[in-house]
Amino acid sequence: MAQEEEIRYFVRISNTDLDGTKPVLTALTGIKGVGRHTASVIATMAKVNGRELMGKLKEEDVEKLREVVDGYSQKVPDWMVNRPKDVYTGEARHLLGTEVSTTLDEDINLMRKIRSYRGIRHETGQKVRGQRTKSTGRTGATVGVKRKKE
């Protein structure tokens, strides 16, 4: 009989601990900035079976995944990255991990600084994307409908 393989419960890729008990495609979505489609592209580019458990992968397969994740934005077309045109450099980048939240904060601060409509809405805590605000999105102690005095 074949010996039972040891399963690694944590696999570290791109400064993120991934769950070794999940399949590769599901585990890769644990990296911030990687969704299901990106995970399948990464697994295909690394020539790794996406349905195999992450913790049972050989070390060379994990290394292939690390290399593909690190060089993802250079290997895919511009429409597949999550930041197709960077504000400062103009190049296509794919943000991963803490870069996603840091860049979002920088973008919102830039909008506030230049006093754009979206920046002002962010500042005042209102809805930004054109939703209705008359009846939804109410915060604080105000609950219910105001009635006219008779």
Q: pLDDT tens digits for 6-57? A: 889 999 999 999 999 999 999 999 999 999 999 999 999 999 999 999 999 9
Give the three-class secondary structure for 11.
strand
CB 14 within 8 A of CB 31: yes
Q: Is 103 part of any domain? A: yes
Do 27 and 55 sit in the same domain of this protein?
yes
Q: Is 116 part of any domain? A: yes
Q: Is 5 part of any domain? A: no
Residue 10 tokens read as 């944590």
Residue 43 tokens read as 């697994």
What domain range includes position 95? Answer: 80-124
pLDDT higher at 125 or 144: 125
C-alpha distances in angstroms, 60 versus 6, 17, 129, 136? 16, 17, 45, 52
pLDDT at 143 over 70: no
Do 22 and 45 sit in the same domain of this protein?
yes
**Chain mean pLDDT for the chain:** 91
Is the overall model pTM greater than 0.85, yes or no? no
In this prediction, residues 104-126 reach a mean pLDDT of 96
Do 15 and 69 sit in the same domain of this protein?
yes
Number of domains in the chain: 2
pLDDT given at position 69:
95
